[in-house]
């Protein structure tokens, strides 16, 4: 079963739910506001994807925190992402073999083996 990580009120996450339902794909939703990732879970995503793929530098929280103007190390960025998980690009889909970030219907098809 696919796990979908995100925030319930995010448009892209809602679009993902709709696509998965339309394509009869079973999934489990993990709301990052209610069930934040642990340090180890986040590190696992970073190890598989890279911090640049996972970190949304165009979102509201990034701007609110003024992180663009700060000279942060990768460790600092990781700590910020751990504390402010709304900065994780959404959705994050996980299956047994892979992790997919972002809304992309073509990628969803390949990811879920749905055609």
pLDDT at 22: 97
Task: Provide the strand spans (E) within 18-76.
Answer: 27-31
pLDDT-based confidence at 97, cuts 50/70/90? confident
Q: What are phi and psi of 101, to 5 degrees?
A: -120, 135
pLDDT at 93 over 80: yes
Fold of 2-112: Glutaredoxin (3.40.30)
Q: What is the pLDDT of residues 47-66, one digit of tens each?
A: 999 999 999 999 999 999 99
Q: Is 63 a catalytic residue?
A: no
Look at 71 and 42; give whichever has higher pLDDT: 42
* 7, 10, 51, 67: the active-site residue: 10
For the chain, what are the domain ranges? Answer: 2-112
Q: What is the pTM of this model?
A: 0.91
């Amino acid at each position: 079963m696919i796990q979908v990580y995100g925030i319930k009120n995010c448009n892209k996450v809602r679009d993902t739910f709709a696509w998965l339902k339309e394509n009869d794909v079973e999934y489990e939703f993990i709301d990052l506001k209610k069930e934040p990732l642990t340090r180890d879970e986040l590190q696992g995503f970073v190890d598989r994807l890279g911090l640049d793929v996972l970190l949304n530098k165009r979102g509201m929280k990034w701007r609110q925190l003024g992180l663009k103007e700060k000279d942060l190390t990768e460790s600092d960025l990781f700590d910020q992402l751990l504390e402010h998980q709304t900065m994780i690009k959404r959705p994050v889909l996980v299956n047994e073999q892979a992790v997919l970030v972002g809304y992309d219907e073509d990628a969803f098809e390949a990811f879920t083996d749905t055609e």
